[in-house]
Amino acid sequence: MKILVINGPNLNMLGIREPAIYGAQNYDALCKMINAHSAEKGVEVKIFQSNHEGAMVDEIQAAYGKFDGIVINPAAYTHTSVAILDALKAVGLPAVEVHISDVSKREDFRQISYAGMACVKSYIGLGFEGYCKAIDYLIEKYA
């Protein structure tokens, strides 16, 4: 099974950005955890991060026919991007939404998730662990 993990804007700043919300571990630590978990479970993984909405759309489109599932944390684009929602719908791959923080307990503007409307499952507020749970869910349901 091949899984694409997509991370949106400012997630490359983990460890520096708002540690009280996102924790002290950096983006490299997140990637290492995802790679180790995927290896342990015997799945191939590609991790992609971009600060640009169009680049994320391009990556989702390029996954068509190449990957079996997507784990996506669209970060701030979660709450604004119809383009990412449409891209997920266009490729039709099972997608799982992840948020490190518990967006349900944060500002009003974080209460809508466009990408989530095209996702089969969401893991919210579990820190980095949400990515492992999302990978496990895709394996359980779609491998």
Q: How far is the CB of 35 from ligand DQA (least distance, A)?
A: 19
Query: Which CB, 17 or 41, lies closer to ligand DQA?
Result: 17
Rounded to an integer, what distance in angstroms lies between the CA atom of residue 88 and that of residue 70?
9
Q: How far is the CB of 51 from ligand DQA (least distance, A)?
A: 10
Contacts of the segment 29-33: beta carbons below 8 A, 24+ positions apart: 29/128, 30/128, 30/131, 33/128, 33/131, 33/132
Q: How far is the CB of 68 from ligand DQA (least distance, A)?
A: 23
Query: Which CB, 44 or 118, lies closer to ligand DQA?
Result: 118
Query: Which CB, 18 or 44, lies closer to ligand DQA?
Result: 18
Catalytic residues: 22, 99
Which residues contact ligand DQA by CB under 6 A?
10, 73, 75-76, 78, 99-101, 103, 110
Going by C-beta distance under 8 Å and a sequence separation of 6 or more, which residues neighbour residue 94? 68, 69, 70, 120, 138, 141, 142
